[in-house]
Structure 1
Amino acid sequence: MERRFDPPFGEAENAALFRLLISTAVDGIMVIDGRGTVRLFNNACERLFGYEPGEVLGRNVSMLMPAPYREEHDGYLEAYRTTGIRKIIGIGREVTARRKDGSIFPIYLSVGEGVFEDEPVFVGIVHDMSERHAALKQLQELQAELIHVSRLNEMGHMSSAFAHELNQPLAAIVNYLRAAQRTVASVEDETVIRAREMMDKAAEQASRAGQIIKRLREFTEKRDTSRAEESLNRIVEEAIALALVGSAPMNMKVEKNLAADLPGISMDRIQIQQVVLNLVRNAVEAMEDAPVRHLTVTTRLTGEGDVLASFRDTGPGLSEEVVRRLFEPFVTTKENGMGIGLSICRSIMEAHGGRLWMTPAPEGGAEFHFTLPATAPRD
């Protein structure tokens, strides 16, 4: 005897279950006919796209697409009707969609094909990929930050190793210079006197290099640096003189507008001098091929009582891409540069309670500024 299996529900119950499925589905479900007209638009679609069903039903589905897909969708349908070649039907892929407010968001679209009342229809399942994309972006940022921290740690170790290796030869240089000075101290020949003066300057610069290395080690090892009240103008003058050594053939014009009434500033003199030296050298290198080589250095008090220093060049300026990442480590426009100078400079300024930033110069070059908090009242 043949066994019969009766369906558990009748047509009415099945229709009710189908409506329940459509209305409670987490993903968007829509049905379009062969002409692209929307025939069904469930609750999840309302939430995703921001449209009421009455605003979408009976209209072309391209209204939910951004350009250029909006204009090309009907052509896709026509090509499928003509050739039968599927591009997304039965496959599914990640695309973008357009909300009622005009915003674009990523979706994963799965499309199935069927027949309803002797007409072809297409069922689309829409899954919002926004959260996945945001999570992926956050993961990529975290990975980039980890790489960044790892590089900084490597730079700290490398700087400490360099400092250790360089201190010994620098100390030997100073000792040899002092010995040479003592050797010729009693000779009054004009040439020897001139040589003694040059040895004094060489010893002074070697000692200064040793101090720079010491401060670099302190900076990378997170130690407290020694600070004292200093004149920013004097530090700027000294750093400019050092930075311009060897730039005479470039016919460089330097204009200094240094305010005479600046208060003293509590600072690590070597570190701030390194910041100024870096900014001036960057400006000189930027103007190497410029038709006009004019560097303007300005110091003044701000309305908030801080001391401001500005360095403006007439070079070619910087691209938007470089400007966005200018103070990040390992970002450089120099062929052989490491790209850590400005990153260290900004860290030094922030450690002093100040800040460092860049603005485009009116003549097309770049203008760097830094501020430091004043520690003494104006006289």
Structure 2
Amino acid sequence: MNHDEEEEASQKLFEEVFRAASDGILVASPDGTIRFANPRSLEMFGFPNADLVGSSIDVLIPARHRARHRGHLSEYVRNPVARPMNAGLALSARRSDGSEFPAEISLSPAQLDDGPVVVAIVRDVTEAAKLRAFGAGTVQAAENERRRIAQELHDDTAQRLAAVKLALKRVTQLDPAEITGLCDDLRQEIGAVAQDVSRIARGLMPPELERIGVVESVRIWLNSRVGSEGPAVDLMAEPVDPFLDLEQRLILYRIVQEAVSNVVRHASASTLKVRIRGVGGVVETIVEDDGVGFDPVTRTGRIDGLGLMGMRERAVMVGALVSIGSRPGEGTRVRVVMEKRPENGKDENDGVHSEGSTRR
């Protein structure tokens, strides 16, 4: 291969990499004029090539940041050094419709035949930002739950046990008839304290999951959570515990809890359907309502969308898949698919059942 052929091959390779890159690539002149934009950047920013190439880089910068960005660009042109992604900068980029997204941007100086340029590689980190927000929300939720449990134990359980202790000190000062009455009172009080402790523990790990299974646990929870003021609940479910280990049952239970709670809090639905069935080692769960619906794309980017992310994150823990379908005014459908894990040590056909559906 001669020199010209090598040049041509290199040029073709560059063009292919430019087109196929999963990150956006922009090439701009020192004055900020965009000269080249790869397909991913056009998709990311929502501009056709004819509108973006030849425009100022300012069109991709939120208006409130443009003046500062021009200063940064001038400084970069005077001192052009490579700046990697994750350089400690929290950056926002602007789409053609005016919406914004968090971005990581690396800059590199380059030289073309007609002069110097700046090469910017842009990565949309919306999902990473969501995960960070979810992680922060999870930590805060855990702290709030610990605080709630500590408050309950201190304000109620500890105080009642202290009262029992004081009452026991009086035993030696009482005659037999009074002791009998005091013991009856103490038995009732200790029983009430035990119930409270059991209630707190049930919130952490429902004992019903092991004793009566995930379907009946869901049924009990639905009765307590939805109530007479909520939507009419239609539960059709088969026993699926033979397909799932305890961790999977707990994850499925929590996802159903979150999905149903979202319906009760936000959907203004008249009907709520819950379907749980297992076939061939696969458990499919559907939570569906006829409520107001929402746009899943915009909702998951906001704080009130952390519950949706939470369902997906829980599912990932056990290799399950969660899909969420919704449109404004058309209700919402949450579908969970969970496969039997090999370490269960049972054949996939174990637990295939012929029992009819149960309905609430």
The normalised TM-score by structure 2 is: 0.48
Rg: which structure is higher?
1
Greater helix percent: which structure? 2
The normalised TM-score by structure 1 is: 0.46
Greater RCO (CA < 8 Å, at least 6 residues apart)? 2
